[in-house]
Structure 1
Amino acid sequence: MRRLMIVIALVGFLAVPAVASAQDLTLKRVMLSSGGLGYFEYEASVDGEAKLALTVPLDQVDDVLKSLVVYDDKGNVGGLSLPGREPLKQLFKDLPFDQTALESPAALLAALKGAEISVGGSSAMTGRIASVEEDSAVIGPDGKTAGKRTRVTLLTDRGLQQFVLEDAENLQFTDPALREKVGQALNDLQNNRAKDARTLSLAVRGEGKRTVRVAYIVAVPVWKASYRLTLPPDASTPRASLQGWATIENMSGRDWKDVELTLASGRPVAFHQALYEAYYAHRPEIPVEVGGRLMPTVDRGSVAAEAAPPPPAAPAPSLRLQAPKAATATPRMAVAADQLEATEAATQVMFTFPRPVSVTNGNTLSIPILDREIAAQRVALYQPETAARNPLAAVRFTNDGETGLPPGILTLYQRGKANEVAYAGDARLSAMPVGETRLLPYALDEKITIERDTAQTDRLASGSIVNGVLRYSRIARQTTTYRTRGPARETRDLIVTERRLPGWTLAKPEPKGVEISEGNYRLLFKLAGGEQTQVFDVVQEQTQQQDLRLVDGPADQIKVFASAPAFDATTRAALTKILQLQQAVSDAQRQLTQVEAQQQQVVQEQARVRANLGSVPANSDLQRRYLGMLDKQENDLEALTKQHTEAQKAVDAAREALRSYVAKLG
């Protein structure tokens, strides 16, 4: 009790000004988006000017500052204020003590050494704080430990005097300004107790009684949709019962009591920005220019040195600040309908609940959003990458309702002939706009077996000669054969997914009625009941156009084309003629090559004879023999030169005949 009296005395006569209490806002509407955002709308009834208080979690302050909007039809907004991110740090920044100094009177006195205090009681004194020391445990008269005691030393007019803090009846600072600072610090501690929340103060101006609405958008847990599809006993029935449920969590930091709840399914573009953080523009630091020490050098002769002028100082960088743009106001919320209302917007589907909803903070709620009949057909879906031998039991259903369906997991039930219900499997439903159809596999259908084989072929399709070029087309074909055996006593609709080859076309079956999904063909085949094996072929083709220059084209390739049944008789005859002309060119070229080889042989022999001629005695028989050989070789070269000329003419004539003939084609 005495310690409490001391603390009160420290700030005992500090007058704390009265603060007008702000009016709290009441949560009325919540809209949760599957994109992880929540719209929260509050209301308050005001008369004239008013201050509205709104407490939000600390991690939501950025989003509130980004998106807060006020709807006041008869007034306007005066402004919004809230404490900083670290309010106490800023508050104690200008005080002569820190926050830990307020943990005890001893800590406060130790932090304010030199301050003058007045002590009342039996040992009354006034002086400046010199030291604050804690004594060891003291043994009382009864022999029991009396606890630790704090001894304070003051510098008074009579010198250093001490007193025990725990025995003091009254203690106060003599400086009114210091007393006010201590009192203000205690008041700030009281106002900023919440570490993880901030209270926003919103001023509104206007006249008369009216309702003010305040709304903002913050991050929330994604609400999840889940479905229950119950299949009828008769597999031929084209309808099934579909129920949809939504699972939501209240992690907003406050209870939802009788709020109007709307769920929105969509993927809006959303950003986060740290608006609650303090940012400062960076300025480059310019060093202070300090003159260096002068050190004259020794004069070593008449040497003139001219210092270069210093470079001009760089201009100081300019600082340009731009005010942020005003946030765009969010549209007003729609009024709840008398019954569950599902509406289709441009980019999302919204579900509004007919009655107010209450969810305690931290709790989870699951509520129905859909209950109706839907078009459904049972099929077998073959996906070779999922199961190579058996297809999957699947449901093909169409959204024939008035609104789209959000994505979610789907649980399937099978109703029997005696109205009993059995679990059939689970499936995944992607976002489903109105009018679209989905295939939902939920189990393996082991009553159907499938063998799959793939083969590729390539054949020549057609060709024609245009401007001396053979333009022909080849057709590459991939054939996938499915050998299926269905149930003995049931018929099945089998949907086969076949990878769609880029740049290829579907040749078999007819493309009419075939669906394409995510790069795959969906092909429907009817399986008749019984044990017989049915065979289905899926053929994809690609036509490749190629050109071949006939003047210098490979003879072996032209020979193949000359006998190709895909070409007409005229084209084959022309190619045969080209082969003959190419053969004539080849024969003429071969003759020319032989003559050139003979010329080369004679030239080499001449070189050998000339080399030997230089090493034999003059006017010798051997010299005369070598000279005779050279004379004969010169005659041979002259004859070969004439032959070469004739052979070259023959080659040129054969080539010209080939070019002329090819040029006339096409």
Structure 2
Amino acid sequence: MRKGLLLLAVLVCADLGYSQTYGNTRVTPANGVARTPVAAKTASLPIRRVILYSNGVAYIERRGTVSGNAEIDLSFKQSQVDDVLKSMVVLDLGQGRIGAVSYNSSQPASARMSEIPFSVNASTADGGGIASVLSQLQGANVAVSSTRGNHTGSILTLERKQIRTEKENFTSSVLVLVSENGDISHIDLSDVRGVRLLDDEAKRDLLEFASAAASTRRRDAKTITVTSEGSGQREMVVSYTIAAPIWKTTYRVVLDTEGKPFFQGWAIVDNVSEEDWNNVQLSLVSGSPVSFIQNLQQPFYRYRPVVPAPADLQLRPQLHESGITTSNAISGIVTDANGAVIPGATLTLINDSTGQRSTFSSDGSGNFFRSSVGTGTYSLNVSSPGFKDMIVRGVRSGSSLRVELEVGSVSETVTVSAQAIADLPIQGRNALGLVAMQPGAASNYIGPATVETSVSEALVSETSGIRAAATGGQIGDLFEYRIDHPVSVSRDRSALIPIIQTKMDGERVAIYNRSIRPERPMSGVLLKNHTDLTLESGSLTVLDGNAYAGEALMERLKPKEQRLISFALDLGTHVFERQSQDRQPAQMVKVVNGVFEAHYFRTEEKRYVISNQSDKQKVLYIEHPIRAGWELLDDTPKPDITTQRFYRFRVELAPFEETELKVTEKQPLKDSYQLTSFSRDQLSLFLSRNNIDSSVRTRLEKLIELRSQIDQINAKLHSFENETEGISDDQERLRENIEALAKTAEAKQLIARYIAKANEQESRLEEIEKETKAVQAEKNRLERELAAEIRNFEIK
């Protein structure tokens, strides 16, 4: 136990020394006066504002008062760090200067500990923790406080001794130190009260090991440290976005005796963070702004190719001859206050003794040079449109000048002295700037860095170019619910927060949709949003007659919109449907390019027979489906509401009343026929439907007659083909019989008979050929006539 406390003393002493020397090292200011290091004060910024978005993102704003040099440690889960790095904004509202925002390495603790030149086990046998630490710090400079006094020196070794007494035997550890004078001393560890590390590197290694060991206890935690340098008390703001559960809405609708709705809305918010929300300003935003995750905490390295040096590359020292210097010349450069060169500036060199003048200009790079300048002092007048005139006095030959013109009118003149560098005070001057002012020294020194407006100053100033895009509850295209009173939600807790409570315009209704339930409608309410709030989608519970009536889901409802919401089955209303279809006479007949088209309408009539079986007056909305290509006829009542998928017809019913709603629709159709194949049966069908007049009938009958004649000729040609094929088959049989009978002497009479029959068949084939040619010619003539009739037959 004693050695364990001693190990803690080593870590504490190292931490104190580290925080005073390494963690708060300050850069020496430009005026050469070193500041006394001031220890940063750890401050906390409580959460003051939370905005939850419906896309699963939360905006967190921390705000508080800090003083002096402040450090703010913010702890996040590993999964939140990428969002924080991507969105964090840090503001110091009291003229303080924001320093670096740092965070611990994303390496695993085991990997970080492996890079430290020593390690300590979480528990050691025989209380050897301090001995293990000191043995790994060999050569480190330490200050040891013991019961025998204070000792300072470097650790040589840690000696272990076996000590035997009458009562027990044990091992004792002795620390061996060497002082700056070379004195060697040994101190028993049992007498040591504290050890302080004097080497900065050893302190850093020990503290880094302790930090890595601590992070192993909480693998999912990462600390981001925000620093600010300043004086006095001032306000700081840190904001960022992180992933968060979406906020949800749930509503209550209370219907009075007349069916008028009273509306109440609640928001459900979840605080899954590890920090309480105490009296925070809470806002809930509906909408989905673009948000994404980008891996920013992980270091990435870009591949660079390795290019070997040429084997024959040999660089040897070279000697270069010096240039010819012109000691009787004046040179320099003309720039503006930001260091930008001014070409074409007019320079007039005036001899202070004789008054002799010479005028020249700066070149395209702002440089100027004037040779053959005699001894004595000169005045240099520099001017350029849009800038104040500059007079540099005390200029001597051999001077190299840097002239900075100030923006202003030409009537204003600024006079400076070109005294030598030895005559100027050097306190607070930049070394490179002094060298550039030395006569004869030329450089590309531009001067001190321009002080730019920081992002934090621009955000809080009126010159940032940002103007509020919305007032009230509107944030661009999003909608915000701002909770009027502070809200407190403990960590890992959820809360139900009222966001709206008001009377709404609307009425109790019934809604019939056959696809949902035939014959019986649903009880519902027509809700009209007369408020300025956008009601987010959510569940809805209905109370009717001081009792639970049902539940529903409501989609997002914007101001001035109305929505039907159904919550129960209406058993007091019955709906029966009757449906019929009919084909209307052709409204138009067209013949174009040999195609006969008949345009007509198909009508469909649906009758909704509605019966109110209760003793209460009712309002029923019938949802009739909208079908592509169908439209309502004029004898159908105009729908009260038209949606993307339904016509909604409003029907008012008295108690026990039965009524009927007729909905008639028509669909335009078209029948097409090729005139080349138009038949007499199709013509009879059109005549029976009164689709065509007498003139069209006459022309169609002529086409049908021509088509009929062509069909008869085709039948005759087909019979000729069949007869020719039969004769050919018979002649083949006769040839086979003649060849078989020619081998016998008794078959001469039969052979002669076969030959006579073959002669008759040949004569018939010649006749068929002549008739076929004649019939084919007639067919060609009829087809030409039919084609001409079709070509000239047009009705538009």
Please state which band the TM-score falls in when normalised by the shorter chain: 0.7 to 0.9
Provide the residue aligned with 1:298 in structure 2: none
Q: Which piece of structure 1 moves more, 172-181 or 260-269?
A: 172-181
Q: In the superposition, relative to structure 1, how do residues 172 and 492 fare at CA in structure 2: closer, same or farther (>3 Å)? A: closer
Q: Which residue of 249, 273, 298 maps to 2:294?
A: 273
Cα deviation digits, residues 355-376 of structure 1 (max 9, x gap): 3333322333323222222210
Provide the residue aligned with 1:400 in structure 2: 530
CA distance in 2, matches of 1:267, 1:329: 30
* Cα drift, residue 549 of structure 1: 1.2
Q: Which residue of 276, 285, 301 maps to 1:255?
A: 276
1:661 matched to 2:786: no
Structure 1: 5+ residue runs without aligned partners? 134-139, 157-165, 286-326, 334-340, 416-420
Q: In the superposition, relative to structure 1, how do residues 95 and 630 fare at CA in structure 2: closer, same or farther (>3 Å)? A: same
Does the CA contact (< 8 Å) of 2:524 and 2:565 recur in 1?
yes
Does the CA contact (< 8 Å) of 1:413 and 1:422 recur in 2?
yes
Q: Which residue of 699, 706, 713 maps to 1:581?
A: 706
Matched to 2:570, the amino acid is D
* Cα drift, residue 456 of structure 1: 5.4
Provide the residue aligned with 1:646 in structure 2: 774
- What are the residue-to-residue correspondences of 1:183-262 with 2, within 5 Å? 183-184=206-207, 187-188=210-211, 195-204=219-228, 210-235=234-259, 239-262=260-283
Q: In the superposition, relative to structure 1, how do residues 554 and 267 fare at CA in structure 2: closer, same or farther (>3 Å)? A: farther
* Cα drift, residue 224 of structure 1: 1.9
Matched to 2:261, the amino acid is A
CA distance in 2, matches of 1:403, 1:639: 98
1:362 matched to 2:492: yes
Does the CA contact (< 8 Å) of 2:678 and 2:704 recur in 1?
no
CA distance in 2, matches of 1:616, 1:132: 142
Q: Secondary structure at the match of 1:215?
A: strand
Does the CA contact (< 8 Å) of 1:115 and 1:129 recur in 2?
no
TM-score, scaled to structure 1: 0.75
Q: Secondary structure at the match of 2:502?
A: strand
Provide the residue aligned with 2:420 in structure 1: none
Does the CA contact (< 8 Å) of 1:563 and 1:572 recur in 2?
no
* Cα drift, residue 269 of structure 1: 1.9
1:485 matched to 2:605: no
1:567 matched to 2:692: yes
* Cα drift, residue 552 of structure 1: 2.6
How many residue pairs match? The answer is 587
Coordinate RMSD, CA, aligned: 4.5
* Cα drift, residue 173 of structure 1: 9.8
- What are the residue-to-residue correspondences of 1:292-441 with 2, within 5 Å? 343-415=473-545, 421-441=546-566
Does the CA contact (< 8 Å) of 2:69 and 2:227 recur in 1?
yes
* Cα drift, residue 470 of structure 1: 0.5
Does the CA contact (< 8 Å) of 1:5 and 1:169 recur in 2?
no
Matched to 2:774, the amino acid is E
Cα deviation digits, residues 407-461 of structure 1 (max 9, x gap): 222222235xxxxx23222222111112211001011110012234555566663
Computing the radius of gyration over CA atoms, which structure comes out larger, 1 or 2? 2
* Cα drift, residue 580 of structure 1: 2.7
Provide the residue aligned with 1:3 in structure 2: 3
1:499 matched to 2:619: no
Provide the residue aligned with 2:752 in structure 1: 624
Provide the residue aligned with 1:25 in structure 2: 45
Cα deviation digits, residues 301-353 of structure 1 (max 9, x gap): xxxxxxxxxxxxxxxxxxxxxxxxxx9999889xxxxxxx9623332221223
Does the CA contact (< 8 Å) of 2:13 and 2:197 recur in 1?
no
Matched to 1:100, the amino acid is N
Q: In the superposition, relative to structure 1, how do residues 346 and 469 fare at CA in structure 2: closer, same or farther (>3 Å)? A: same
Q: Secondary structure at the match of 2:480?
A: strand
Q: In the superposition, relative to structure 1, how do residues 248 and 110 fare at CA in structure 2: closer, same or farther (>3 Å)? A: same
1:529 matched to 2:655: yes
Cα deviation digits, residues 53-95 of structure 1 (max 9, x gap): 4333443222111111134465664321011235743542223
* Cα drift, residue 392 of structure 1: 0.5
1:38 matched to 2:58: yes
TM-score, scaled to structure 2: 0.64
Matched to 1:7, the amino acid is L
- What are the residue-to-residue correspondences of 1:79-158 with 2, within 5 Å? 79-86=100-107, 88-98=109-119, 100-101=121-122, 105-106=127-128
Identical-residue share of aligned pairs (%): 26
Q: In the superposition, relative to structure 1, how do residues 584 and 3 fare at CA in structure 2: closer, same or farther (>3 Å)? A: same
CA distance in 1, matches of 2:131, 2:636: 95
Cα deviation digits, residues 580-635 of structure 1 (max 9, x gap): 33222222222222233223323333333333333444993334333322322222
* Cα drift, residue 646 of structure 1: 2.0
Cα deviation digits, residues 204-254 of structure 1 (max 9, x gap): 46788653322111122222222222222124xxx4322222222222322
Provide the residue aligned with 1:67 in structure 2: 87
Q: In the superposition, relative to structure 1, how do residues 11 and 542 fare at CA in structure 2: closer, same or farther (>3 Å)? A: closer
Q: Which piece of structure 1 moves more, 17-26 or 636-645?
A: 17-26
Q: Secondary structure at the match of 1:234?
A: coil
CA distance in 2, matches of 1:280, 1:569: 89
Q: Which piece of structure 1 moves more, 374-383 or 254-263?
A: 254-263
CA distance in 1, matches of 2:793, 2:228: 92
Provide the residue aligned with 1:324 in structure 2: none
Does the CA contact (< 8 Å) of 2:17 and 2:203 recur in 1?
no
Q: In the superposition, relative to structure 1, how do residues 399 and 82 fare at CA in structure 2: closer, same or farther (>3 Å)? A: same
Q: Secondary structure at the match of 1:583?
A: helix
CA distance in 2, matches of 1:6, 1:48: 34
Cα deviation digits, residues 459-506 of structure 1 (max 9, x gap): 663433234320123544454443322134333222122332233333
Does the CA contact (< 8 Å) of 1:464 and 1:571 recur in 2?
no
CA distance in 1, matches of 2:213, 2:532: 55
